Amino acid sequence: MENLYIKRLTLVSDTDKSANQFEFSNRYNLITANDNSFGKSTLAKMIVWAFGCSPSLDHVWLDLNCKVLLEFEIGAKKHKVARFGNFMYLSLDGGDFLKYPKITGEYSKVIQNLFGFEVLLPNKENKNKLEAPPPSYYFLPFYVDQRRSWVKLWDGFENLHQYSAWHNVVIKFHTGYLTSQHFVYEKKIAEKRIEKLPIAEEVNRIDSAVETIAQYAPKEYLDFATDEDEFLKMTQEVEVELSDLQKSQEVNLRVMAELQVERQYLESQLQLVIGASKELELDYTFSVERIDGESISCPLCGTVHDNSLASRTSILNDKDEAIRQGETISGKLKKIYKKIDSLRSDSEGITAKIGELNNKYSARENTGHISVLHAIAAKSVEKIISFSRGEKIVKIEALEGDERQLKKDQRELIQKEFKIALDDSFVNLLSKYVIKLNAVGVNLSSVKSPLDYNKILGGGAAEAARGGLAYQVALINHIYKHGLAVKAPFIIDTPNQQEQTHVNYDRIINILMEETPKDAQIFLGAMDSSLLSSYKAKAKVIELDKNKVLIKDKFPMLADAFEFMTSCEDAASS
């Protein structure tokens, strides 16, 4: 796979009337300053933020409402991506910009295709819905955040909790353990599960109907004439003399069972509508209380929602619609209750009519006090329902068998020998870099693959930080050799963690220069120091001062760089 190279970054704040532009080298880049407050971390974050990632940003920067335009190359093709809030703009291979109203959905699919990052993750609410995750999951192994990543590996961005148990899949794909074919099988497995859902629901409804029959037809009726020949003979005799009554009783039981199922369904729907109406009332109250602007930022995922008057009116309309739906369902329920009462009355009438006739068959067949007609009707309905249920169970079992076979074929995509080779390659790299970084106090005995990042234990704070860096450098080398997606730049912010000694900090700088892939673009964010001299001599140096990232004098010449935002075509969103 080809490499991704960041060429130029342009930032403009219309709020602050300030701007800046930065150009980068294809190999070493140094973002430095004499003070930690000058914005070197912010500049590093803007590189990934521009693609739609979610690095931690303080409110001071967010209040600048900055627009970002990033120019990058993959192979011989030049592309541009821009971001303003959560609106994304993408120009591929010199083409016109397309606008995407959100980071998830269609934009994530396009970026995923561009990077060859073919991971699909199950939606948190609907496990059978597979989604292309946002760009954060692609950039995770390539971005080392100043605060988050040094504390916990694979945690450089916010909002990663939007998917459950994503680590296994994402890490395996990045490191070559999974291929795109794995996700082809995932889609097929999800299709089988989706196909099974309505059939399983029908089985549940049938089970509910059987319970209803058991309620209105006592067990002795259902156990009556269990021998098939005996049951057939009895049924034929009754049909000659009492066919109309038998049919009435059978229909009566069947319709009552169906009405009971429909009643349960409508009652559950009514509860959902009532709940939705209450939620909409709470949403409206919340939106009215938040009258300080026409937008609300979600406290969980950061998505900005419309809070205009039209939006609040829409909430009220939705609430009214929910109330109307509730009234409609209540009306249907009243009719069903009335029908059920009528059927019960009819059942009593049928019982009275067949009472005298039933005595003849009861006496002849020595059935005691069991009503022959009731028993036949109940038994007939039970047989019909049981047959229908059996057919559906066969379908479910067939789908589950298909699903098991797909999972088996999916597991066989990667051979055991290949997995062992990948494990050994990574562990050897990690051990090598632990030694080079003088982090030998870090315990690697439980680390067998890239998935074991949480098992890198031991060492003091400074040594543990070097152990984490050894993992990151081993990971980058492993991905560049075995990964199937486009290789992104390695962005590492402030590696001088936990007050490293001069000797150990020198080791850190050397390993970034000597042990990273030769074709990898490196971004290093660090406080200015004489220990950076060897790196600085070969790097494109961006030295920030007290003016920080944005400069007011550059606003006039860069303000027009984002004119495309007002005229670009909207892309279809999903």
Q: What is the structure's pLDDT at 573?
A: 47
Judge contact between 88 and 98, C-beta under 8 A.
Answer: no
293 confidence band (pLDDT: 50, 70, 90): low
**Mind listing the pLDDT tens digit for each residue in 131-162?**
999 999 999 999 999 888 888 999 999 999 99
Q: What is the pTM of this model?
A: 0.72
Mean per-residue pLDDT for 382-409?
83
Predicted pLDDT of residue 244: 72
Span 269-286, average pLDDT: 76
pLDDT of amino acid 229: 63
Does position 360 have pLDDT exceeding 60, yes or no? no
Instruction: Give percent of the chain above pLDDT 70.
Output: 81
Strands 98-100 and 569-570, bridge-based pairing:
parallel
Three-point CA angle 246, 251, 256, nearest 5°: 130
Q: For the chain, what is the largest distance between any 2 Cα atoms, rounded to a whole number of angstroms?
A: 112
Residue 465 has pLDDT above 80, yes or no: yes
Given a cut of 70, is residue 258 above it in pLDDT? yes
Q: Tell me, what's the pLDDT at 373?
A: 54
- Maximum average pLDDT range among 52-56, 274-278, 384-388: 52-56
pLDDT category of residue 274 using cuts at 50, 70 and 90 = confident
pLDDT, greater one: 555 or 237: 555
Give how far Cα 561 sits from Cα of 61, 70, 94, 113, 564, Å: 20, 11, 15, 27, 8
Residue 275 burial by Cβ neighbours in a 10 Å radius (0-12, 13-18, 19+): exposed
The DSSP symbol for 551 reads: B
In the predicted structure, residue 22 carries a pLDDT above the cut 70 = yes
What is the rounded average pLDDT of the residues 234-245? 62
Element spanning 23, H or E: strand 18-23
> What's the confidence (pLDDT) of residue 369?
46
Please answer whether residues 454 and 167 qualify as being in contact, where contact means their C-beta atoms are separated by less than 8 angstroms. Answer: no
**Which residue type is seen at 516?**
T
pLDDT digits (tens, 9 = 90+) for 205-235: 877 776 766 666 555 554 554 555 655 665 6
How far is CA 54 from its chain centroid?
16
Collapse the DSSP code of 124 into the 3-class scheme (helix H, G, I; strand E, B; otherwise coil) and give the result: coil
Cβ contact 319:302 at 8 Å? no
What are the structural domains of the chain?
4-179+414-570 (3.40.50.300), 204-386 (no CATH)
In this structure, the strands spanning 67-74 and 77-84 are antiparallel
When pLDDT is cut at 50, 70 and 90, the band that residue 308 belongs to is low
Q: What is the helix (H) or strand (E) element at residue 395, kind and residue range?
A: helix 372-411
Binning pLDDT at 50, 70 and 90, where does residue 251 land? confident
Mean pLDDT of 537-545: 93
φ and ψ at residue 163, rounded to 5 degrees = -120, 145
Is the pLDDT at 389 greater than 70? The verdict is yes
Distance of CA 130 to the CA centre of its chain: 7
What does residue 329 show for φ and ψ, rounded to 5 degrees?
A: -65, -40
| Overall average pLDDT of the 518-546 stretch | 93
- What is the reported pLDDT for 400? 86
What is d(CA 541, CA 534) in angstroms, rounded to the nearest whole number? 12
β-partners of residue 526 are 32
Q: Residue 555: which pLDDT band, with cuts at 50, 70 and 90?
A: very high
Task: Give the model's pLDDT for residue 266.
Answer: 85
- For the segment 177-198, what is each residue's pLDDT rounded down to a tens digit? 999 999 999 999 999 999 898 8
Across the strands, what pairs with 359? Answer: none
Rounded alpha-carbon distances, angstroms, from residue 361 to 220, 226, 236, 369: 16, 17, 13, 11
430 Cβ neighbours under 8 A, 6+ residues apart: 444, 447, 470, 471, 474
Residue 12: the pLDDT is 97
Measured CA to CA, the distance from residue 439 to residue 504 in angstroms comes to: 9
Taking the C-alpha atoms of residue 65 and residue 304, their distance in angstroms, rounded to an integer, is: 13
The pLDDT score that the predictor gives to residue 454 is 92
Q: What is the mean pLDDT of the chain?
A: 85
